[in-house]
Amino acid sequence: MRRVRQGAALLAAIAALGVILFLGLMPRPEIRPLGLLPNHLARYIDSQYTGRHVAGFLAFHLALLALGRLGGMALGATRRARLAGGLALFAVALELGQLPLPHRSVDFSDILASWAGIALAFVLTEPLLRGLARLRPPPPAPVPPAPADHAA
């Protein structure tokens, strides 16, 4: 059952990555033409360029944390910090991937906004996850096996 959950979490993470790559590399990165949200909300989000980066990477970081928990993967503090660092590098790679695309350009403020979203997610979740780890009961102590009765 654990392998099934890990496989489902991995597929969901790959799907989320695919959506972000699609939106990040499409020639006209607007949400409104996709028809996913009501028109007035999609129009507002499309006008908030920095907010899209912050919200997108905040949501991506939270989704990866949730998928890790769903998949039963232990994400200690070091792994969570590496996840945030990996997402920061991904944000740079996604922005640099726009170099060869027509009608797109690399914008350093987009990278900073993406990093802000990752940092915000890390700052919001880290105290919560550390507190939950303290509340978790310790694992039960192993019970020594009963001595075997050897009658000769």
Lowest-pLDDT choice from 53-62, 108-117, 136-145: 136-145
Between 102 and 111, name the one with better pLDDT: 111
CB-CB contact of 79 with 87 (8 Å): no
Could you give the CA distance from residue 97 to residue 27 in angstroms, rounded to a whole number? 12
Q: What is the pLDDT of residues 33-91, one digit of tens each?
A: 666 667 777 777 666 667 777 777 888 888 888 777 765 666 777 888 888 898 899 88
26, two tokens: 């499409």
CB-CB contact of 31 with 42 (8 Å): yes
Length of the chain: 152
- Residue 89 is predicted with a pLDDT of 92
Could you give the CA distance from residue 115 to residue 91 in angstroms, rounded to a whole number? 7
- Residue 1 is predicted with a pLDDT of 65
